[in-house]
Structure 1
Amino acid sequence: MKIYPLAGLALATTVVFSLGCKDKTYTKAEAVTMPAKTPQENYANYCSGCHGEKMDMFVDRQWKHGNTQADLEKSIRDGWANEGMPAFDKTFTPTEIKELATYILDGVKNTQTYNLDDVPVTGIFESEKLTVKLDTIATGFDVPWGIAFLPDGSLLATERSGKLFAIKDKKKQEISGVPEVLAENQGGLLDVAVHPDFKKNKWVYISYSKPKKEGNRTLATTAITRGELKGNALVNQKIIFEANPYQPTRHHYGNRMVFGKDGFIYLSVGERGNEKQNPQSLGNNQLGKIHRIKDDGSIPADNPFKDDNGKPTSLYTYGNRNPQGLAFNPWTGDLWENEHGPRGGDEINIIKKGINYGWPVTSYGINYDGQPITDKTSAPGIQEPIHYWIPSIAPSGMAFVTSDVYKPWKGAVLVGAMRFKYLTICYLDGNKVVSEEKLLKNIGRVRDVRQGPDGYIYVAVEAPAGGIYRLVPVK
């Protein structure tokens, strides 16, 4: 089956010249004699090999030859011979061409529901079940990456540029002693977590992009340091985790951290943009994985993967792309995770030890240049997500609503949607997302969301809103 570059309907993709689907390919002569099919079937049989198994993958691209009904019908009917796309005028009837173009345009309309142009004019936001107003906790942030709560009612917040703040009574106090971070592109100071027994040990954990010189290059990795919070300083620090290998890239670091009831730290590391080598590699490759470590960085004996000497490693799962949300489901005890797909295919996964989550063998997304990454959304031995988003919403942060402060939302899970600048409420039936709502529309890139010990929900929003906010129900 010969593949030619650049299909006419989308920029920078490929086209299979002999018409095909996942299981069988057809020549034009064979296709002409086939009975009429629905536009969904025609898309699956003749378009999905180039434009993605899910039609929404196709519509979330840049269009080269127009995206009106007439433009699509012309492209399907006449093709673009100089660009490698064949004409389908002898394959489909005029009615089938029209129906296929309409089917694609309906998908475009679905993606347009994410375009939220209205800028908020008040701090009050309505959902179907509850109205809330924003209570400003702290401002003056550019990219507030992570938030955590201290027993005295204050909270900690990281600024990706490399600063850590304590916030109490709506006043910010910078914490000294933060390690050197490589604040470039997606790197910098990332998540923050507080030890469950903080009252006794004062331990705070921060994750960051750690630089390392190698000749004339600067490499970086995801690292975690533990320190004692004494007054306004982190002291007695110890690096308890460094993900190997260091990489020259400046993106896909992960990282979220969460303590389990077992007392262990569960943490995520991105694959650093190198999907061909990192996420499916075990051994000493810690990128594109979920890890489990003890609070001092040592390794639990029952972790599922062993090194060449038979000793347990920190690896807990693999085949993860860029996970930026971790939270334990309080009703089932399961660890839930969200991760960025490429262009489409952001996921929610339930994390189980030893499991392969597929990246890049399976995916519901395409690459950023429009090229297919894989034609598989499922495969033997790979755990499928319980939910995925097409187009990508760029999920970050995750929190289950357990508080009676928000009774209509209780039982839902909240996820920040950075690409479209809102907070998504995912209503659940067991482990299934049955519906979603968009809240805080166009507030800005929601980087983190947490439910505090006081029962209120807190969100970290990037500039221009640039701050930490509490959601207060309006009665």
Structure 2
Amino acid sequence: MPRRLARIAALAVLLAAGGTCAQVPPPAGVVRSEAADFRVEVFAAGLERPWGGAFLPDGRLLVTERPGRLRLIGTNGRVSAPLAGTPAVETGGQGGLLDIALAPDFPDSRALFLCHAARVEGGALTRLTRARLSEDATALEAVRTVLDATPAQARGRNHFGCRMAFSPDGGRYLFLSTGDRYVEMGRAQRLDDLAGKVLRLTRNGRVPPDNPFAGRGDARGEIWSYGHRNPQGLAFQPGTGLLWASEFGPRGGDELNIIRRGANYGWPLVTHGVNYDGSVISERRSEPGMEDPVRVWTPVISPSGIAFYDGAAFPSWRGNLFVAALNRPALVRLTIQDGRVTGEERLLPGLARLRQVLVGPEGFLYLLTDEPAGRVLRLRPA
């Protein structure tokens, strides 16, 4: 790898992984914000780089740890031993065991999906895996690969994407984000390549016949949208059916997008950011035929997981979009109207690098902190 590219890659890994500074305790007492007052508590601790989470029907929480472990957190916050049967993962750089999502019919099937980095012949790639949670919730069974985001890449272990969302029509389709894999950013524009895309699949990994590029010999039928850098947030907006995504920019130009069928989001032909060394990627900020972001953050916030709030515990937050931010750490609250961001509030600035935000079954917010001694923080009404 050329020396300049190696330095840039090292900086990218540092920005994504974060430092090892002392852990900041949550604020004591009531936190007063623009729309709601709340308290912050440590719900669970002792996790290493928690990345994704999914609530079981009984209120327990499955959490992935990036080094490759899956744990179950009880309703009392007790963390289990690692579950057996988790798939092998590639843990270099930004790789590891990343997102988790329950199948919509989980109460009957006990099926779940994992997105993770995997090593294959030729290098590493983003992999979608399906499994079944054992009846005693101590192991994964019937583990099988559903999709590999080919081609594999020999160099670099960055930009895997790896966020999942089921369609609001009963979960008929699974949407999955993939990163551009960083080294060859132009992969995001190639339609014969699954890097830098949002994919749409059936739960068995098949290509829906109404996907925009299905049946084309020069394109992968799994692709729903393309031209993405590293989308790590994916969520459907209740009541509208719109799919929203948060996406890491380079140095500047983080994005919030509405994901549309067959659309090109421009990367790297269009961007609001520059390379980590300050060099220009593209002079273009917009281009006819390419989707403009709904919101751009410069300086960056490194937006990871997102969630629309639809709970009852915080009535004044209903319909708001929450963004877990890693750099300039904060929980970002956005008000949304007619596909536009109408307001922004940054909650808990500097508390911790936040990787994911989840809405719990009781309507509380749960935050996964991207720390070596990771925590699950819980926001309760004051």
Same fold, TM-score > 0.5, yes or no:
yes
Counterparts of 1:150 and 1:335, CA distance in 2? 23
Q: Percent identity?
A: 40
Counterparts of 2:319 and 2:273, CA distance in 1? 28
2:128 matches 1:224: yes
Letter in structure 2 aligned against 1:225:
T
Cα deviation for residue 277 of structure 1 reads 2.8
Q: What TM-score does the superposition give when structure 2 sets the normalisation length?
A: 0.88
2:84 matches 1:176: yes
**Aligned with 2:143 (options 223, 237, 255):** 237
Cα deviation for residue 454 of structure 1 reads 2.1
> Which consecutive unaligned segments of at least 5 residues does structure 1 have?
1-117
> Which consecutive unaligned segments of at least 5 residues does structure 2 have?
1-22
**Aligned with 1:260 (options 149, 167, 183):** 167
Partner residue in 2 for 1:387: 295
Partner residue in 1 for 2:68: 162
Partner residue in 1 for 2:27: 122
Paired residues for 1:432-443 under 5 Å: 432-443=340-351
Give yes or no for contact 2:26–2:41 (8 Å, CA) kept in 1: no
SS in 1 for 2:47: coil
* CA 1:436–1:338: 2 relative to 1, 3 Å: same
2:303 matches 1:398: no
Aligned residues: 353
Partner residue in 1 for 2:202: 294
Cα deviation for residue 411 of structure 1 reads 1.9
Higher helix share goes to which structure?
1
Deviations 1:22-55 (A, max 9, x none): xxxxxxxxxxxxxxxxxxxxxxxxxxxxxxxxxx
Deviates more, 1:328-337 or 1:455-464: 455-464
Cα deviation for residue 441 of structure 1 reads 1.7
SS in 2 for 1:333: coil
Letter in structure 2 aligned against 1:353:
R
2:58 matches 1:142: no
Give yes or no for contact 1:126–1:439 (8 Å, CA) kept in 2: no
Partner residue in 1 for 2:13: none
Partner residue in 2 for 1:13: none
- After the TM superposition, which segments of 4 or more aligned residues of structure 1 sit over 3 Å from their partners? 118-121, 306-312
Give yes or no for contact 1:363–1:374 (8 Å, CA) kept in 2: yes
Deviations 1:276-323 (A, max 9, x none): 43000002x000000001111111111111355489711100001100
Counterparts of 1:192 and 1:123, CA distance in 2? 31
Cα deviation for residue 429 of structure 1 reads 2.5
Paired residues for 1:49-448 under 5 Å: 122-124=27-29, 125-168=31-74, 169-173=76-80, 174-214=82-122, 219-230=123-134, 231=136, 232-247=138-153, 248-262=155-169, 263-283=172-192, 285-306=193-214, 308-309=216-217, 313-448=221-356
Letter in structure 1 aligned against 2:180:
E
Larger radius of gyration: 1
Deviations 1:321-355 (A, max 9, x none): 10000000002110000100111111111011100
Higher RCO, 1 vs 2 (CA within 8 Å, ≥6 residues apart)? 2
Give yes or no for contact 1:422–1:441 (8 Å, CA) kept in 2: yes
Letter in structure 1 aligned against 2:286:
S
Counterparts of 2:339 and 2:290, CA distance in 1? 18
Give yes or no for contact 2:238–2:319 (8 Å, CA) kept in 1: no
Counterparts of 1:135 and 1:120, CA distance in 2? 9
Cα deviation for residue 137 of structure 1 reads 2.2
Letter in structure 1 aligned against 2:34:
E
Give yes or no for contact 1:444–1:464 (8 Å, CA) kept in 2: no
SS in 2 for 1:140: strand
Letter in structure 2 aligned against 1:126:
R
